[in-house]
Each structure stands twice: as structure tokens, then as C-alpha cells.
Structure 1
Amino acid sequence: MPAMLAVPAIAAPAPASGSLAAVQQHLSAVDTMTADFTQTDRNGKVLTGEMTLEKPGKIRFQYEKGVPLLLVSNGKTLYFIDYSVRDVQPYPIKDSPLSILLDPSRDASKYAKIVPSGDPRVVSVEAYDPNNPQYGRITLIFAKKPSAPGGLMLQGWVALDSQNNRTTIRLSDQKFNVPVSDNMFRFNDPRRSGRPN
């Protein structure tokens, strides 16, 4: 019986850097992320702060000092807290357009697509659930960067709510797969006597 020939393993080709597969590769390579953010709303009002993300499902937008707002998810529910009026609005994280960043189990090809950016160095991905238009849509903006996870660097996103109100988030000082404390995804509930949720 002839000896088995050694067949060299053939590596799967890397996805093209401008493809949805490359975006999914980036998303699956990122477990945690921190960044500074600048948020611009439809009226041109600008707020800054720090974003912390941990998969699956956890994110925190800590606004600059003096801004009584907090957006935080504990993995299942996304809370928008306005401390100035002691209000807490909960949303299931799976219904948020941000779930493309936070839920590695979802197949992005079923609800996201590459949109032309006009710049070969930029990859734009629009995520939108046509069955639930009330949740709005999000367009993620990536820059091609070989040293970043999956060769892409998340630069920010543009979110449109169901009333077409636009919010733009720009990120800077991005750090990937860094240690993150679980305390980042808790908050003091203003409806109660300061007990963390």
C-alpha cells in the first residue's frame, strides 16, 4: 500500500477587506473595546464621553461631567437614564441597532449590507431590520487598518431612529480586547435611593 502523500493544508482565503465577511471577522475578533466618543445630535448639539463595550450585550456611554445622561446595557436590557428628571427607559438590547456590535451570535448578513462609501479606505455597513422599522437603523463606519482586529478600525456610526432623527458617534483612542470591569455595566437607579442596578 503506497504511503499517504502529505497534502499541505490550504488556508481559507481571507475575506476582502471591504466585504461584509471582513466586518463580521472584525466583530467576532473583538470581545471588549474602549474609546472616547463625540456625539452630535440632529440639532448639532455635541456631547463627549467614554464608551466601554463587552460582549455579549454590554455597553456603556459615560457622558462628560455635568451631563446627567447615561446609556448602559447589562447584557440583556439597554437603559437610557436621565438623572435630571429621574427617568429610566429600558429597551431589549436585541431590538437595538447596536446589537450588531454586541451580539456575536447574530448573522449580520441577514440584516446588514455594505453601502458605498466613495472612499476605498472606508467600509460602511448599514444594519436595519425591515420587520421592525421602529428600531431604526445604524450605519457603522470602519477604516481599513491592517493592525486592527480583522483589518478594520471602527471609527463610529450614524444612527437614524424611526422618526429619521440622526445621531452621529465618532470614536477616538480605540482600544480592543482590554480588561473591563463588570461594574461598568451597572448604574444607580434614580427612581430608588441610589441602589445600583
Structure 2
Amino acid sequence: MPVPAVAQAQPGDLDRAVTALRSISTMQASFVQTDRNGQRATGTITLKRPGRIRFQYSPGIPMLIVSDGAALTVIDYQVRQVQRWPIKNSPLGALLDPTRDVKKFGTLVGGNPGGVTVQVRDRSHPEFGVMTLRFNRKAGAPGGLELGGWTALDSQNKLTTVALSNQRYGMAVGDGTFKYNDPRRPTRR
């Protein structure tokens, strides 16, 4: 049986990927998130650069992930817990942190006529994790590449894969989209 050929990156693919990321002002898409155990969750992602993102999970999933531009916040409404990290200290920093230079920390790990894959890691800060961004070549997308998803490996070796679909760009997104109700606050009766 013949061994399949490994796709080679094309000259300029890293520059094109950086341009595509920087060209996204706003984006909304459906997502499917899969953890290392194969558990899946779905929802809608809203992105507003610089630094803002919201993972609104489907009804029945009591989670919310929000970045307000400074910190990434994970809210678990079921156990009434909130965890916050500076954006730059998370694998999502490659996507969200406006000071993170994807070209400086990025390496092409694959490319083909249909797409580009870029791995982003800060070797001087392995605790920030690794993010592998997947782009699909699409003429109408910002920079000619559509963000198709990513795989994040955090410092605890937890692997999460996010696949995007139905991407829309350039819509108006208010800053209130990136606020959340804190479940730790007592409710009045």
C-alpha cells in the first residue's frame, strides 16, 4: 500500500495566515468543541478584535467562555465557579492577544492547496501551551484564508479541538456581548 504524501506548505503561507488573523475585525461562527476524551459540545463563537471572544454553548450546557480583551474567563454556572487568566497566558492568546506576534511564535506545520496549518508556541513560556490554527483557503475570507478551527494544548496537557463552520465576518458586535452574569453573586429572594 503506498504511503500518502505529506502536504507541503507554500511560500508565503505563514504571512498569509498572519494577514488573515489580523484582517478579522469581527466574526461569528458555529463551533464543535471536542476534548481529549471525545466529549463534544456545540455552540456559537463571536470574535471581536482585539482580544474579545465569546463561546456561547448550546442550551443545556451550563458553561460560558468570555474574553473581555484582558482576561479569559471560564464560567461554570452549574457549580457557580468563575476562573480567570490573562489572555497571554492561555493557548487562545495566539488568536486573541493583540501583542502576540503569530509570525514570531508561529511555525507552518502543514499546507495544501485547500488550507494552511500554523502551530503557535512561546518556547520561553511553555506554560502558555500550544495552539495549532487551521485555515482553509477561501477567496472571500479576510486575507484569503478562513479560520477553520484550532487545537489547543494547555499546560496541564489537556487537548481541546474546535472546528468552525458557517463563518460570517464584519458584522456589528457590541462590547456588551463579552459580559457575563457572575454566578457567585447571591440572588435576592
Shared fold, TM over 0.5: yes
Change (3 A) 1:17 1:188: farther
What residue in structure 2 maps to residue 112 of structure 1?
A: 106
Unmatched segments (≥5 aa) in structure 1: 1-15
Which of 58, 74, 80 matches 1:80? 74
Structure 1 distance, partners of 2:115, 2:74, is 30
Kindly state the Cα deviation for residue 36 of structure 1 after the two structures are TM-superposed.
0.5
What residue in structure 1 maps to residue 165 of structure 2?
A: 172
Which of 122, 128, 137 matches 1:135? 128
- Kindly indicate whether the alpha-carbon contact (under 8 Å) linking 1:17 and 1:144 is maintained by their aligned counterparts in 2: no
What residue in structure 1 maps to residue 5 of structure 2?
A: none
Segment of structure 1 superposing worse, 120-129 or 96-105 = 96-105
Structure 2 distance, partners of 1:191, 1:113, is 41
Give a deviation string over 1:91-136, Cα, whole Å, max 9, x none. 001222222222344322221111124x331200101111221221
Kindly state the Cα deviation for residue 18 of structure 1 after the two structures are TM-superposed.
5.4
Change (3 A) 1:105 1:164: closer
Say which SS state the counterpart of residue 178 (structure 1) adopts. coil
Does residue 39 (structure 1) correspond to residue 33 (structure 2)? The answer is yes
Structure 2 distance, partners of 1:102, 1:122, is 21
Say which SS state the counterpart of residue 20 (structure 1) adopts. helix
Structure 2 distance, partners of 1:188, 1:42, is 29
Give a deviation string over 1:144-189, Cα, whole Å, max 9, x none. 1112111101110011122322111000110111111211100000
Aligned length: 178
Report % sequence identity: 50
- Kindly indicate whether the alpha-carbon contact (under 8 Å) linking 2:92 and 2:152 is maintained by their aligned counterparts in 1: no
Which of 150, 156, 174 matches 2:149? 156
Structure 2 distance, partners of 1:165, 1:103, is 21
What residue in structure 2 maps to residue 67 of structure 1?
A: 61
| TM-score (norm. length: structure 1) | 0.85
Say which SS state the counterpart of residue 176 (structure 2) adopts. helix
Amino acid at match of 1:68: P
Which of 79, 89, 109 matches 2:83? 89
| TM-score (norm. length: structure 2) | 0.88
- Kindly indicate whether the alpha-carbon contact (under 8 Å) linking 1:17 and 1:152 is maintained by their aligned counterparts in 2: no
Give a deviation string over 1:27-79, Cα, whole Å, max 9, x none. 12111110010001111111000000111111000001011111001110110
Change (3 A) 1:18 1:48: farther
Structure 2 distance, partners of 1:146, 1:128, is 28
Kindly state the Cα deviation for residue 17 of structure 1 after the two structures are TM-superposed.
7.4
